[in-house]
Amino acid sequence: MTFFNRTFLAALALLAPAAALAQDAAPETVTLDQKVNAAFATATGPFVDLIFAPFPGTTFPWIVMWLVIGASVFTLYFGFVQFRFFRHAIKLVKGDYSDPNDAGEVSHFQALTTALSGTVGLGNIAGVAVAVGIGGPGATFWMILAGLLGMASKFTECTLAVKYRNEYPDGTVSGGPMYYMKKGFAELGLPGGGFLAIMFSIFCILGALGGGNMFQANQAHAQIVGITGDYPGWITGVIFAGVVFAVIVGGIKSIAQVTEKIVPFMGILYVGAALVIILVNYDQIGTAFGQIFAGAFTGLGVAGGLVGALIQGFKRAAFSNEAGVGSAAIAHAAVRTKEPITEGFVSLLEPLIDTVVICTMTALVITISGQLITDPETGRFVLNEAGTAIATIGDTSGVALTSAAFGSAIGWFPYVLAIAVVLFAFSTMISWSYYGLKAWTYLFGEGKTSELIFKVIFCVFIVIGAAASLGPVIDFSDAAIFSMAVVNIFALYFLMRLVRRELNSYAGRLRSGEITQYAH
């Protein structure tokens, strides 16, 4: 067994002893779900604590600042590329510049929907509810700002993913941060690229099993139980695992064929439902935006005040759109194109759609619905008994808070939300299975057997996620995904000069007319 194999298996071993430890320590009356939850929290606690450790003397996690600084640097370095090339990105998605003979497996639109299916998920529903519940409506402002800045991070990583991907004789491709770390560093004569690639791959697999899998199953089960009544989480997990496995067996083309249909449908369904709620409460729109802007700079009495709103906003945006994490770069690497920079342009649309549009819709619905309890005399929010979050009607949080907000206007809307949750969870799982798979094959080699092993492991973790409680799952989800960003953004600082070279070359040829549109 190689050193890399041993290293990775040791990382997975953190999760292995869970069931045995819980079974030995727990009394016979403890349910299976409770055993899984207790053991999972114990096994992942140190990892979570490390990633979210605050700066000394503050409550500000270092990882949040890492993401914000990275996004700001890329925005300035590329001259606000997310705004300058926005119209061109739309044309690329429409296929105006697509040559069907280019190498790759999927179209610009399919790559975008596959990546969006991995980001437009329960982070937009449950995650935003967590952010608003703790940081207040003001967290929405910081979410939007993080989304706009994150567009530049996404542009940088996805351009590199296409530039340094592996193209195989059978037409398939493999790409992502692990490939541009190794190849890009080698091209620049820098050491350490291979080590960074291995570290990223390990974190990517953990992220795929956590945020891209367990959190989705967990919150989907919570929403379904809210309608059907309580039943064991592992049942939901088994059903999801079976459906997901049926799709991911077919690889990226099968995944893309599903996502290009399901993503537009679920996006329209969710945004449409949110717009109905907002229009029903149209007289509260001004007040809601007032709370968002006031809360962003004063806190309005929420836990942690202004800093609490900022931290929650940036955390949720990062978990929602994954800009700087490097995950979406793996999907974009499969696009049919000979110009790497074009996929960078397409990818910058993701944080806009995911965070600026869909996350804002969720936050507005929660704020307008009146689920957050305020003091009628001062207008400030009332905290719960623990003082850790805003008190809500019915003491709800996460996806349950979003569901209550939707149901406050129209009684049957939680059923619409339940459908959206299931679709979001399903689409996120199938996309993240591909991300994790590519990291797995980078470490252990390409091959049908290797791929099948990972796909089975992935489906087993769906069942575990559905059975565990929200706290440990969401903590591990955030920590695993943010770990990817630590390695990825560090590498991007060294490689961004290569992206600017691509950008300047493409922009010059576009202005001169050398790059032309294709007739379709």
388-411: average pLDDT? 78
pLDDT class of 16 with cuts at 50, 70, 90: very low
Two tokens at 93?
């998605």
Residue 10 has a pLDDT of 42
Residue 266 has a pLDDT of 77
User: Containing H/E element for 174?
Assistant: strand 173-174
Judged by average pLDDT, the poorest of 37-41, 188-192, 428-432, 498-502 is 37-41
Q: Let me know if residue 28 belongs to a domain.
A: no
Beta strands of 159-227 (E only): which ranges? 166-167, 173-174
Whether residue 243 has pLDDT greater than 70: yes
Residue 186 has a pLDDT of 95
Q: Let me know if residue 276 belongs to a domain.
A: yes
Q: Let me know if residue 10 belongs to a domain.
A: no
Whether residue 17 has pLDDT greater than 50: no
**What are the residue ranges of helices labelled H in 281-359?**
285-298, 305-321, 327-332, 340-347, 349-351
Percent of the chain surpassing pLDDT 70: 84
Mean pLDDT, rounded, of the chain: 80
Whether residue 23 has pLDDT greater than 50: no
456-480: average pLDDT? 79
CATH of the domain at 484: 1.20.1740.10
pLDDT class of 72 with cuts at 50, 70, 90: very high
How far is Cα 387 from Cα 327, in angstroms, rounded to an integer? 35
Whether residue 33 has pLDDT greater than 50: yes
Residue 122 has a pLDDT of 64
Whether residue 153 has pLDDT greater than 60: yes
pLDDT class of 515 with cuts at 50, 70, 90: confident
Residue type, 359: C
Whether residue 193 has pLDDT greater than 90: yes
Residue 306 has a pLDDT of 66
Number of domains in the chain: 1
251-263: average pLDDT? 74
The total of other beta-carbon atoms located within 10 Å of residue 420's CB is: 24
Whether residue 200 has pLDDT greater than 50: yes
Residue 14 has a pLDDT of 39
Model pLDDT for residues 491-506, shown as the tens digit of each residue:
999 999 999 999 999 8
The total of other beta-carbon atoms located within 10 Å of residue 229's CB is: 7
Whether residue 3 has pLDDT greater than 60: no
Decide which of 171 and 98 is more confident. Answer: 171
Q: Let me know if residue 344 belongs to a domain.
A: yes
Decide which of 485 and 41 is more confident. Answer: 485
Q: Let me know if residue 115 belongs to a domain.
A: yes
Q: Which of 48-52, 179-183, 434-438 has the highest mean pLDDT?
A: 179-183
Alpha carbon separation from 508 to 77, 380, 504, 511 (Å, rounded): 18, 53, 6, 5
Q: Let me know if residue 38 belongs to a domain.
A: no
Q: Let me know if residue 293 belongs to a domain.
A: yes
Closest of 115, 125, 117 to residue 271, by C-alpha: 125
Q: Let me know if residue 26 belongs to a domain.
A: no
Model pLDDT for residues 342-378, shown as the tens digit of each residue:
888 888 888 888 888 888 888 888 888 877 777 777 7
Q: What is the DSSP string of 348-413?
A: THHHIIIIIIIIHHHHHHHHHTT-B-B-TTT-PBPB-TTSSSB-BTTS--HHHHHHHHHHTTSTTH
Residue 71 has a pLDDT of 92
The whole domain housing 251 covers: 60-94+101-507
How far is Cα 76 from Cα 71, in angstroms, rounded to an integer? 9
Whether residue 213 has pLDDT greater than 50: yes
